Structure 1
């Protein structure tokens, strides 16, 4: 059985026991933060930095310039000359690979900082924080 208004639908089983509700966009906008705060974990799970991946990149460094330890967020201005030495960390390492791609998360604005190391130069890009992945980044079922 379904009880329906313009903003939400209450769902019940055959005996009238509530199963849940479907919220329309306006209703969801009103309660989203409260619902997420109530059901989301109270503390974010600790995420370990892939330090060994960074160390592997440094060990096999074959670029025409020295290893760079500086990171700057173009979006909020957060900056460091040695990200590994900051306490507390201004930037958390999120990825590194032998191809020269290194990614960080700015601890100030949560932006994603990408450093692409090429043979003769480094290209840096900052992407604003997105709380939810876009539909093109979600896995697809069969």
Structure 2
């Protein structure tokens, strides 16, 4: 498909009226300081800030309610990337880790508030496996969605 790697794409509505311009992240980093005075509101950095999603505590509560593992509920979380650790993530104030997802099968994901790494805890019948995935600011182009 041609045109995907262009630094600028012109956008038109269904009536072929000009709507706007889509620029690549690389070009945006170059032009943001120039165009930001003309934009409504302020921009900081090359990516817009996302509002923080609420933690899915209802999913965690469901997992705890139906807990049938051979060990008690485990609230301990450790980030192998930066060393951030807590014996009970729910009781921390402020939170050292934010719950990102939890499911009834025992898969639980946390985000480290210190380094933004993702901590995955897989609860099996007799054990827990924990892994840490470092935060990556750069996106893998092979994982980008392409619409035809």
Aligned CA distance change for structure 1 residues 57 and 128 (closer, same or farther; 3 Å): same
Pair 1:73 & 2:79 matched: yes
Pair 1:131 & 2:131 matched: no
Q: Which residue of the partner structure matches residue 30 of structure 2?
A: 31
Aligned CA distance change for structure 1 residues 59 and 137 (closer, same or farther; 3 Å): farther
Aligned CA distance change for structure 1 residues 140 and 61 (closer, same or farther; 3 Å): farther
Give how far 1:47 is off: 1.1
Give how far 1:46 is off: 2.4
Q: Which residue of the partner structure matches residue 114 of structure 2?
A: 108
2:29–2:46 contact (8 Å) kept in structure 1: no
Q: Which residue of the partner structure matches residue 92 of structure 2?
A: 86
Which protein shows a greater Rg?
Answer: 1
Aligned CA distance change for structure 1 residues 37 and 81 (closer, same or farther; 3 Å): same
Give how far 1:138 is off: 4.1
Cα offsets for 1:16-49 (capped at 9, x unmatched): xxx86977x6xx59738868735644x5402100
Give how far 1:130 is off: 1.8
TM-score, normalised relative to structure 2: 0.68
SS of aligned partner of 2:30: helix
CA distance in structure 2 between the partners assigned to 1:58 and 1:49 by the alignment: 15
Give how far 1:69 is off: 0.3
Aligned CA distance change for structure 1 residues 38 and 81 (closer, same or farther; 3 Å): closer
TM-score, normalised relative to structure 1: 0.71
Give how far 1:59 is off: 0.3
